[in-house]
Amino acid sequence: MKKICSDNFPDQYELMIIDVLESPQIAEDEKILATPTLVRELPEPIRRITGDLSNLDQVLIGLDIKD
């Protein structure tokens, strides 16, 4: 994700990685029930992808970044 963000959105993103074992309260607050979960908060609406993130095109489509 760091490479995808830096290549496509230089200086326009904030990436937070949460280890649900180390920070279970954050995971609960964010309603993260499965890992991995990727959340795009802005621009709204919020988009979430859970599971396999290896297919870049599917991830970008799921995040509504690419048609």
Tell me which H or E stretch contains 31.
Answer: none
Could you tell me the CA-to-CA distances from 44 to 26, 28, 39, 48, 50 in Å, in that order? 20, 21, 11, 12, 18
Bridge partners (DSSP) of residue 47 are: 40
Per-residue pLDDT of the chain (67 residues; tens, 9 = 90+): 888 888 878 888 898 888 989 999 998 998 888 889 888 888 899 999 998 888 888 888 888 877 7
Q: pTM to 2 decimals?
A: 0.72
User: Is the distance from CB of 47 to CB of 61 less than 8 angstroms?
Assistant: no
Predicted pLDDT of residue 13? 87
pLDDT of residue 22: 93
What's the token pair of residue 35?
A: 């890992």
